[in-house]
Amino acid sequence: MQGDDPGLLGSGGEMTDGGKIPYTRPSITDVEIGYALDAAAHGWGEHCYDYIERFEKGFADHVGVSHAVSTSSATGALHLGLSALGVGPGDEVIVPDITWIASAAPAVHLGATVRFADIDPVTWCVDPDSVESLITEKTRAVVAVHLYGNPCDVVRLAEICEKWHIALIEDAAEGIGTVAGGHRAGGLGHFSVFSFHGTKTVTTGEGGMLLTNDRSLAESVRVLNNHGRAPGRAADFAPERIGYKYRMSNLQAALGLGQLERIEELVARKKQILELYRERLSGLSCVRLNMCRDGDSLGAWMPTVECLEPTGISNQYLRTAFLDGGIDARVVFPSLSTLPVFRLSADVCPVARGFAVRAINLPSYHDMSVAEIDRVCTVLRGAVVGHARLR
């Protein structure tokens, strides 16, 4: 398995041991490069959608859904999907309090009100009980985020959404390789969105995908994503409605197709890195790594450490220790309800607010060596021990 050799070369050919350890970078091989070169040389005119169509079909088949629309980002995909559902002013959309702001921003752009649900203290994903407590007659959708590749309880959320006749949206931007309730992430919601950003397990540089089993919704999204023009009317400059343009290029799709052909390898390596961290940190009782419910499977996009109470260790303290050790670790997403743009009361989402200041992401790029993983663990262990001595 690539990465087991402590002296493994980095993706650029340089030795990484002893130098700065980045928190992420993609794994690109001759497979992806070959497709991208072919798209650059021949993917024009009547062939300008060839790789897009292959990538969309291949990814839909992988997740197990009927329809896929490639986009420029997961954010754009979510905007398109919510717009196709008719979400707008006067509506409410429930979003977990811990997620990247892209999970909430499209609803705001459409004029809806975002309501923040607390997270489950074990999975770090949105708590179904908190979601149900927020549902009103104005609620149109729930956005379920598979945070850092941790499986969200989409089965229970689907039951809640069906009960209240609202749409369940799976934000699987970080969920490639994740299995929840017997379904691959993105296969259960009314629609789902994925990200292929350069940090993700599968990348197109920038890019995303909307998946759904609802043919009508998929057709609406395709119209919206083409400035309001129906497919097959590229020469018609009179759109049916005001739309958007969040389309993926053929060049990006070519790169994505190469990544898709390696998806099992890429996911397996992410899972292996998480387990290597788990083995090495098993004796450190005051921290814990990504967890999920029995029967689910972690996609392991981003190994994350939460410092348990009552240690009092903050993620900013750990980040400083990592940076001093030449390791580029990043703190987890903030509690969105604390951001000035939302200005919510201090008693909202207490679990999420605690997690936001105690957890930090660990480096996990595909060709990371065992020696580098050991180095990260050594710095983390030293920081925890050092903090205990200061108390």
Give per-residue pLDDT as tens, 167-181: 999 999 999 999 999
Asked if 255 and 203 count as a contact pair (C-beta separation under 8 A), the reply is: yes
Question: Which pLDDT band holds residue 14 (cuts at 50, 70, 90)?
Answer: very low
User: Do residues 281 and 253 share a domain?
Assistant: no
Query: Mean pLDDT over residues 144-154, rounded?
Result: 98
User: Do residues 332 and 374 share a domain?
Assistant: yes
Query: Does residue 23 belong to any structural domain of this protein?
Result: no
Domain that includes residue 378, residue range: 263-390
b/e map 274-289, b = 16+ CB within 10 Å: bebbeebbeebeebbb
**Mean pLDDT of all residues belonging to the chain:** 92
User: Do residues 229 and 278 share a domain?
Assistant: no
User: Do residues 95 and 232 share a domain?
Assistant: yes
Q: Which two tokens stand for residue 225?
A: 């994503």
Query: Does residue 337 belong to any structural domain of this protein?
Result: yes
CB within 8 Å of 343: residues ≥ 6 apart: none
For residue 312, give Cα distances in angstroms to 70, 268, 340, 354: 44, 34, 25, 11
Question: Which pLDDT band holds residue 234 (cuts at 50, 70, 90)?
Answer: low
Query: Mean pLDDT over residues 178-188, rounded?
Result: 96
pTM of this structure: 0.93
Q: Could you give the CA distance from residue 317 to residue 305 in angstroms, rounded to a whole number? A: 13
b/e map 5-40, b = 16+ CB within 10 Å: eeebebeeeeebbeeebbbbbbbbeeebeebbeebe
User: Is the model's pLDDT at 25 over the cut of 60?
Assistant: yes
Q: Could you give the CA distance from residue 325 to residue 378 in angstroms, rounded to a whole number? A: 10
pLDDT of residue 187: 96
User: Do residues 115 and 243 share a domain?
Assistant: yes
| Domain harbouring 296, CATH code | 3.90.1150.10
pLDDT of residue 309: 84
User: Do residues 205 and 346 share a domain?
Assistant: no
pLDDT of residue 166: 98
Measure the CA angle with vertex 332, ends 328 and 334; round to 5°: 135
Query: Measuring CA to CA, which residue among 24, 48, 87, 53 is closest to residue 260?
Result: 53
Beta bridge partners of 93: 114, 141
User: Do residues 250 and 353 share a domain?
Assistant: no
Q: Could you give the CA distance from residue 226 to residue 273 in angstroms, rounded to a whole number? A: 40
User: Do residues 182 and 320 share a domain?
Assistant: no
To the nearest whole percent, how much of the chain has pLDDT over 70? Answer: 92
pLDDT of residue 224: 97
Query: Mean pLDDT over residues 189-205, rounded?
Result: 97
pLDDT of residue 230: 84
Question: Which pLDDT band holds residue 348 (cuts at 50, 70, 90)?
Answer: confident
Q: Could you give the CA distance from residue 271 to residue 304 in angstroms, rounded to a whole number? A: 12
User: Do residues 233 and 366 share a domain?
Assistant: no
Please report, to the nearest 10 degrees, the dihedral formed by the alpha carbons of residues 163, 167, 173, 178 taken in order.
30
User: Do residues 112 and 232 share a domain?
Assistant: yes
User: Do residues 160 and 298 share a domain?
Assistant: no
Query: Does residue 146 belong to any structural domain of this protein?
Result: yes
Query: Mean pLDDT over residues 248-256, rounded?
Result: 98
Question: Which pLDDT band holds residue 15 (cuts at 50, 70, 90)?
Answer: very low
Instruction: Write out 37-48 in H/E/C secondary structure.
Output: HHHHHHCCHHHC
Query: Does residue 18 belong to any structural domain of this protein?
Result: no
| Domain harbouring 160, CATH code | 3.40.640.10
pLDDT in tens, 80-101: 999 999 999 999 999 999 999 9
User: Do residues 247 and 274 share a domain?
Assistant: no
Task: Sort strands 167-171 and 191-195 into parallel, antiparallel or unpaired.
Answer: parallel
Among 218, 246, 261, the domain-final residue is 261
Among 246, 261, 276, the domain-final residue is 261
Among 205, 231, 261, the domain-final residue is 261
* 3-state secondary structure at position 271: helix
Number of domains in the chain: 2
